[in-house]
A and B are shown apart, each in its own frame.
Chain A
Amino acid sequence: MEKKSLPEKNLQYRLVNYFALTILSFLIISLLYGLLSLKAALPCANSISCSDSLQLKVENNIPGVFNQHKIMPPVILSEDSSQPVVLGETSSSAEKHIYVNLTKQKVYAFQGNSLFMQAVISSGKWNRTPTGDFTVWTKIRATRMSGGSGADYYNLPNVPYVLFFSNNEIPASSGYSLHGTYWHNNFGHPMSHGCVNMKTTDAKKLFDWADNKIKVTIYGNAPV
């Protein structure tokens, strides 16, 4: 049997190394791509503000943009930005719960079996509103919400009375919430980018009533 020369062995060794390195690189790239794809597939109610800020932000007299039109947001006074006294408190220890019926485009607020309020909403039109059981992770008097691109671009300061909710599948960073709405008036019909839009008067009533960490259940199918 003929023995291979030293240069031949080196060449073979290098080829094996190159091959292993190529396979390894391919695996790493695939893994990174998969992770990035997974992150991109996570739903987000407002694509820009989800990564930008989900915190209290009061910006008076700064116009917003919606449907390529300039929109003036409501003015929010400083004394109005503090956490409200929770209304609707009773001696009842029954749990408060918010239900959103996508089929009927309505929200219901219950304390135990007692209905506190019901109102029309607008659920997701351009992005689906997630269904399931959620918990409100923060209440914010107002914040900026922005997202979309091109003709669909929107940038809205002073979105009022925001109840951000999340669960194990929909993380807080996805920015889903119930909130007041000043840029459209088409309640009773899907009209949002995934959030639950409410009339500002209804949103205030719900916001003032809701406890921190209140449960939210969203169910049904929005009209198409």
Chain B
Amino acid sequence: MNGSKLKLTTLIFIMLAVFLSFLSYRYLTNRVRRESAILNVAALSVATPTPAEIFLPVSVDSPDGSRTLVMKLQKNNTVAAYSFFASEKSRDREKLIAAKTVSPSRSFSIPDNTWSPDNKYAFIKESSPVTDSYFVLPASDSLPQTDLLNTDIQALFSQKYPQYNLTEITGWADPYLLILNTTGAGGERGPSFWFDITSLTFIQLDTRF
């Protein structure tokens, strides 16, 4: 092989190597673009969460005017998040005392007589198309640790007195007793009960409220 033939062969190899490198580069860059395009499409196909709608707070004052229970709601098409705050007029600050997340078909409300007479507890109502539930929120520091917050009074009552339906909790008979009205299985007016929040027990009454 003479010198000029060697030069030509080397040149051809170099040109072939450059050409192959160019092809490889194009192939790889195209693949990355394709993959990122696929990823973007996949990302777009995930359900976009609806922005949460924030509702105006609802509040109920205690009968002596010293405390306020405030309910705040954020809701989208999948969940409704409720937050309950207790505030004192003298201190002008809110404290989160409970948060509950439910499906949008359920809703919470604050009854007018929510506050216990000593302003240490408040009860709330959870409504659904089927039934109403009631919960008691400890709203003061230094209260004894209980499972009140997670105690569904409706469910507890149904277990204990399946022959009656709890129709309404009207308010507080004293700082520890809630007043419950009921109906019988046939829809007739049933007896009234007290629910003792300290012992989580029901007391059937002779008097109807």
Give the B-binding residues of A (Cβ under 8 A). Answer: 66-67, 69, 71-72, 74, 120, 125, 181-191, 199-201, 224
Residues of B within 8 A of A185 (CB): 62-63, 113, 115-117, 171-172
Q: Tell me how far the C-beta of B203 lies from the nearest C-beta in chain A, rounded to whole angstroms.
A: 10
Q: Tell me how far the C-beta of A59 lies from the nearest C-beta in chain B, rounded to whole angstroms.
A: 18
Interface residues on B, range: 20 to 34
- Asked if B173 CB lies within 8 Å of chain A CBs, one says yes
Q: Tell me how far the C-beta of B175 lies from the nearest C-beta in chain A, rounded to whole angstroms.
A: 7
B174 touches A69 (CB 8 A): yes
- Asked if B34 CB lies within 8 Å of chain A CBs, one says no
A182 touches B63 (CB 8 A): yes
Closest to A202 in B: B63
18 contacts between A and B (CB under 8 A): A67-B174, A67-B177, A69-B175, A69-B177, A182-B64, A183-B174, A183-B175, A185-B171, A186-B179, A186-B209, A187-B63, A187-B112, A189-B179, A190-B209, A191-B173, A191-B209, A199-B64, A201-B61
B174 touches A71 (CB 8 A): yes
A200 touches B112 (CB 8 A): no
Residues of A within 8 A of B62 (CB): 185
Residues of A within 8 A of B112 (CB): 120, 187-188
Closest to B179 in A: A186
Other-chain residue from A66, A69, A188 in contact with B113 (beta carbon distance below 8 A): A188
Closest to A154 in B: B174
B174 touches A187 (CB 8 A): no
A188 touches B170 (CB 8 A): yes
B64 touches A186 (CB 8 A): no
A201 touches B63 (CB 8 A): yes
B174 touches A66 (CB 8 A): yes
Closest to A187 in B: B113
B175 touches A199 (CB 8 A): no
Other-chain residue from B65, B171, B179, B209 in contact with A201 (beta carbon distance below 8 A): B65
Question: Roughly how many angstroms separate A184 CA and B179 CA in the complex, as a whole number?
Answer: 10
B64 touches A201 (CB 8 A): yes
Other-chain residue from B171, B175, B176, B209 in contact with A187 (beta carbon distance below 8 A): B171
Other-chain residue from A67, A71, A183, A186 in contact with B171 (beta carbon distance below 8 A): A186
Q: Tell me how far the C-beta of A206 lies from the nearest C-beta in chain B, rounded to whole angstroms.
A: 14
Residues of A within 8 A of B177 (CB): 67, 69
Closest to B209 in A: A189
Question: Roughly how many angstroms separate A181 CA and B117 CA in the complex, as a whole number?
Answer: 9
0 or 1 for each of B59-102: is its CB under 8 Å from A? (1 = yes) = 00111110000000000000000000000000000000000000
- Asked if B118 CB lies within 8 Å of chain A CBs, one says yes
- Asked if B31 CB lies within 8 Å of chain A CBs, one says no
Question: Roughly how many angstroms separate A71 CA and B115 CA in the complex, as a whole number?
Answer: 15
Residues of A within 8 A of B170 (CB): 186, 188-189
- Asked if B160 CB lies within 8 Å of chain A CBs, one says no
Of A185, A187, A200, most buried by chain B (CB within 10 Å of CB) is: A185
Residues of A within 8 A of B115 (CB): 185
B172 touches A186 (CB 8 A): yes
Residues of B within 8 A of A191 (CB): 173, 209
Question: Roughly how many angstroms separate A72 CA and B117 CA in the complex, as a whole number?
Answer: 10
Question: Roughly how many angstroms separate A224 CA and B192 CA in the complex, as a whole number?
Answer: 12
0 or 1 for each of B116-134: is its CB under 8 Å from A? (1 = yes) = 1110000000000000000
Question: Roughly how many angstroms separate A167 CA and B179 CA in the complex, as a whole number?
Answer: 34
